[in-house]
A and B are shown apart, each in its own frame.
Chain A
């Protein structure tokens, strides 16, 4: 069964540094998403992406964050000038259509020191 692949599985970064989290969605998916889960809290929506542009973003997704699909296969989340509170699990997801179930990767654990 096709899978969403995320790398790295764990990223440790100094506060203030930039990080790029990478995702390879399932090949026939057209809609892409990033969510995060802070330790002990709910999974929270960050952003959705379709047709090479952001279709929706949450209030969490401020100017510090950006997404890109640079080569038609990878889908990346960039966090500039990371803060301690950015420490969380970050999940990439995709779906074939907007009204079809979203399928998630296994996440990247981001630890900001």
Chain B
């Protein structure tokens, strides 16, 4: 169920360190953004979302930052654990009556013990 990742950027992080995964989104009209985690053989799992009227949102061990000026989204994972190893996708929705999500390419996170 994962993107094979022949061309996926990879981030390798030492266990216990913080991870920052970046995403450049495509549409300046997008007003809702979501981060998904995809483990091998599984579907995308919702992590955290943020709306365009915010620039930061925190969850449990995760923080999403939104910079609309440069159309950039980031996911910060604190104290990265082996179970965080997966492919991470950002997705955007432009609202205005459209329900579809536009997904990014994905980043593979490898947590080193």
Q: How many A-B residue pairs have CB under 8 A?
A: 65
Contact, CB under 8 Å: B49 / A104: no
A18 within 8 Å of B by Cβ?
Answer: no
Contact of A99 among B5, B32, B91 (CB under 8 A): B32
Contact, CB under 8 Å: A48 / B100: yes
A110 within 8 Å of B by Cβ?
Answer: no
Contact of A58 among B3, B6, B7, B100 (CB under 8 A): B100
Binary flags per residue of A99-112, CB closer than 8 Å to B gives 1, else 0: 10111111101000
B residues less than 8 Å from A107 (CB atoms): 1, 42-43
- Partner-contacting stretch, out of A38-46, A67-75, A78-86: A38-46
- Using CB atoms, name the residue of chain B closest to A50: B99
B residues less than 8 Å from A6 (CB atoms): 43
Bound-state CA distance A55–B1 (Å) is 26
* Size range of the chain A interface in the assembly: 20 to 34
Q: Give residues 3-39 of A contacting B (CB, 8 Å).
A: 4, 6, 31, 33, 35, 37, 39
Chain B positions near chain A (C-beta within 8 angstroms): 1, 3-7, 32, 34, 36, 41-46, 49, 89, 91, 95, 98-106
